[in-house]
Copies of this chain bind each other. A is one copy, B any other.
Amino acid sequence: MIIEMQKGADEPTIQRVVERVKEFGFDVQLNVGEEEVVIAVLGSNTGIVDTQVFEALPGVERVFRIMEPFKLASRKFKPTSTIVKIENVEIGENKIVIMAGPCAVESEAQLLSCARIVQKNGGKILRGGAFKPRTSPFGFQGLEEKGLKLLAKAREETGLLIVTEAVAAEDVGLISKYADIIQVGARNMQNYRLLKAAGKSGRPVLLKNGFASKIEEWLCAADYLLNENNGHSVILCARGIRTFEDRTRFSFPVEVIPVVKRFSHLPIIGDPSHPSGDFRYVPAVARAIIAAGADGLLMEIHPDPKKALSDGAQSLTFSDFSRLMRELKDIAKAIGREI
């Protein structure tokens, strides 16, 4: 951490800052410039102290962080890329993993038809929401445990693994009984109670970025999971961010893939459905995510999108999904990977 002192800060003022730094057990090095003094705070864990702690001190102009605020999710902490293994599926390996299914579990027929088309096209994991976080209290809130049972049935019939969302800490136990991967959604990325419960569940966790979270906040949220000693079983899922553009639901800043790969050891997949908000854009965004180097995709499909209870406009039909899967396999091959 770097503390820039105000121009003309006097010796005792500077000393008081130095002492405060030392109270945290950090070392200090002073750079006395022509016009101002800069204090370098040294230590292997300065990342865990808020810059605000020093900004409040008299004579301080600004505080810059050098050490990352995240720790367990950092590639500095674990230089080798993590591979999350669930039964015979490996996420983060050279093979790209496709997860697809309906936004919400609606019925057995709907879910099973999705599962079969996912399996047929080489997907490994079935998604489907049983607990739905909805912006308005008047929207469809999900089938809850009945939905989880349908997911388990689809698992039995197709051998696909199951990923489904938990929206509250108290549901994690129930969901863990049915799901292979617990999803923490964008709206709950900073629901720390839920993060702790999911981290303790014994299941791998798929963590979406909050739609206005910085990458470093996302990796801090991953730290909450990893801190529960879950054996690095965290899969990051980029789902786009909110910007000023209003022609799409969200925006997918595709550089997020190489940036996260650089700073974190965790596998990262992408969700092309939510940023697009419209099935017309999903294939292009999906192809881009794979070409950028992601380890997989999470997509919404529906046997009859115009009758979907939620997210119909961004769900692919089965024929669009099958065509896209063929394109994705070719792109994977082009970059030396496989689906």
Residue interface mask A42-57, B partner, CB < 8 A = 1: 1110011011110111
* Number of identical monomers bound together in the oligomeric complex: 4
Contacts of A128 in B (CB 8 A): none
Alpha-carbon distance A188/B168, docked complex (angstroms): 11
Closest residue of B by beta carbon distance from A243: B243
A255: interface (CB < 8 Å): yes
Q: Does A202 contact B (CB under 8 A)?
A: no
Q: Does A293 contact B (CB under 8 A)?
A: yes
> Which of B55, B69, B191 contacts A312, CB < 8 Å?
B55
Does A86 touch B at the CB level, under 8 Å?
Answer: no
Q: Cα distance A218–B162 when bound, in Å?
A: 32
Whether A190 contacts B251 in the complex (CB less than 8 A), given A52-B313, A327-B334, comes out as no
- The interface stretch among A132-140, A143-151, A152-160 is A132-140
Question: B residues within 8 A CB of A245?
Answer: 214-215, 241, 253, 256
A31-39, A87-95, A111-119, A173-181: which lies at the B interface?
A31-39
Q: Are B279 and A255 in contact (CB under 8 A)?
A: no
CA distance A203 to B169 in the complex (A): 23
- Picked from B40, B313, B330, the residue with its CB within 8 Å of the CB of A334 is B330
Is there contact, CB below 8 Å, between A52 and B311? yes
A83 lies within 8 A of chain B by Cβ = no
Interface size (A, Cβ < 8 Å)?
Answer: 112
Please name all residues of chain B whose beta carbon is closer than 8 Å to the beta carbon of A78 when the two chains form the complex: none
Determine the chain B residues whose CB is within 8 A of the CB of A53 once the complex forms.
308, 312-313
Closest CB in chain B relative to A297 CB, distance in Å:
13
CB-based contact B167/A193 at 8 Å: yes
Q: Which residues of the other chain, B, contact A255 by a CB distance below 8 angstroms?
A: 248, 251-252, 275-276, 281, 284-285
Q: A66-B62, A135-B220 are in contact. Are A288 and B254 (CB under 8 A)?
A: yes
- A244 in the interface (beta carbon within 8 A): yes
Q: Is the CB of A48 within 8 A of B306?
A: no
- The answer, among B35, B133, B256, B333, for a CB contact under 8 Å with A44, is B35
Residue in B38, B251, B305, B327 whose CB lies within 8 Å of A243: B251
Nearest residue in B to A2 (C-beta to C-beta)? B2
Most B CB atoms within 10 A — which of A50, A259, A262, A293? A50
Asked if A280 lies at the interface with its beta carbon under 8 angstroms from chain B, I say yes
Does A109 interact with chain B (Cβ within 8 Å)?
no
A sample of 9 inter-chain contacts (CB < 8 A) reads: A53-B312, A133-B192, A136-B220, A137-B224, A241-B244, A259-B281, A288-B289, A327-B334, A334-B334
Q: A7-B76, A58-B306, A136-B220 are in contact. List 20 more A-B contacts (CB 8 A).
A: A4-B66, A31-B40, A34-B42, A50-B312, A64-B66, A69-B135, A71-B136, A187-B190, A188-B190, A244-B244, A251-B253, A251-B255, A254-B284, A255-B284, A285-B292, A287-B291, A291-B291, A291-B331, A331-B331, A331-B335
